[in-house]
Chain A
Amino acid sequence: DTEVTQTPKHLVMGMTNKKSLKCEQHMGHRAMYWYKQKAKKPPELMFVYSYEKLSINESVPSRFSPECPNSSLLNLHLHALQPEDSALYLCASSRMKTGLHGDEQFFGPGTRLTVL
């Protein structure tokens, strides 16, 4: 199994809603990532989990709350979002090798989020 899955594919939510994005991989990767991507822009790193511990938080607002329940699963909990948070949210995973070589990230298909 060489894929990263993400659910849902599309999500529309109001500013007062609470929702969660889910990401799963079964490649034995020990690093998992959340990115936010606006149209025609590169992905922006939000969070990194290494060995199920949060290792990087790129000053993301607290209305985004990541969770890594186990080595295969990554969630992103959403609460009180703003319309400007509408974007494609991409999850990725990588082996987390000690060296750089071969530590490419494998991406999921993304969740297209619209905040009304």
Chain B
Amino acid sequence: AQKITQTQPGMFVQEKEAVTLDCTYDTSDPSYGLFWYKQPSSGEMIFLIYQGSYDQQNATEGRYSLNFQKARKSANLVISASQLGDSAMYFCAMRESGGYQKVTFGTGTKLQVIP
């Protein structure tokens, strides 16, 4: 079974608008961490934001915020005020406490920002 599901292969957003990228996950481990990475066409994976399963508040990092709904097992990334440089592939990932250093990635969402 897929541990991380990203159901949007591609998304378009107008510049300066907000966009939500969906991510659902599946785990029976009570302790886990969720990560979002951005991968521009150049190839480098850039860490954006982290949410721990025990964190009481939704994570925020600048224009990035994470809408964490634990009961629904979803961890959607919200990008506010989109910029042209936000055009990239976005991956949701999870690390379970029982999984040592292993991180499982979703299939990704390609975001294109339109001027």
Evaluate whether A104 and B50 lie within 8 angstroms (CB atoms) in the complex, with A109-B44, A110-B43 already known: yes
Q: Are A43 and B105 touching (Cβ within 8 A)?
A: yes
Assembly CA distance A63 to B108 (angstroms):
29
The answer, yes or no, to whether A107 is at the interface (CB within 8 Å) is yes
Evaluate whether A55 and B43 lie within 8 angstroms (CB atoms) in the complex, with A41-B107, A42-B91, A100-B95 already known: no
Proximity bits, B20-34, A CB within 8 Å = 1, else 0: 000000000001110
Proximity bits, B81-103, A CB within 8 Å = 1, else 0: 00000000001000101001111
The answer, yes or no, to whether B68 is at the interface (CB within 8 Å) is no
Evaluate whether A90 and B47 lie within 8 angstroms (CB atoms) in the complex, with A42-B107, A48-B102, A100-B32 already known: no
Which residues of chain B are within 8 angstroms of A33 by Cβ–Cβ distance?
A: 101
Q: Are B108 and A42 touching (Cβ within 8 A)?
A: yes
Q: Are A104 and B102 touching (Cβ within 8 A)?
A: no
Assembly CA distance A48 to B95 (angstroms):
14
Q: Are A56 and B101 touching (Cβ within 8 A)?
A: yes
Which residues of chain A are within 8 angstroms of B31 by Cβ–Cβ distance?
A: 100
| Residues 34-62 of A contacting B (Cβ, < 8 Å) | 40-43, 45, 48, 50, 55-56
Measured CB to CB, the closest approach of chain B to A68, in angstroms, equals 13
The answer, yes or no, to whether A115 is at the interface (CB within 8 Å) is no
Q: Are A31 and B101 touching (Cβ within 8 A)?
A: yes
Measured CB to CB, the closest approach of chain A to B105, in angstroms, equals 4
Assembly CA distance A112 to B108 (angstroms):
20
Using CB atoms and an 8 Å cutoff, list the residues of chain A in contact with chain B: 31, 33, 40-43, 45, 48, 50, 55-56, 88, 90, 92, 94, 96, 100-110, 112
**5 closest pairs, A vs B, by CB?**
A42-B105, A107-B45, A100-B33, A110-B43, A104-B47
Using CB atoms and an 8 Å cutoff, list the residues of chain B in contact with chain A: 31-33, 35, 37, 42-47, 50, 52-53, 55, 91, 95, 97, 100-103, 105-108
Residue pairs across A and B with Cβ atoms less than 8 A apart, 21 shown, are A42-B91, A42-B106, A48-B100, A48-B101, A56-B101, A90-B45, A100-B32, A100-B33, A101-B50, A102-B50, A103-B33, A104-B35, A104-B47, A105-B35, A106-B47, A107-B37, A107-B44, A107-B46, A108-B44, A109-B44, A110-B44
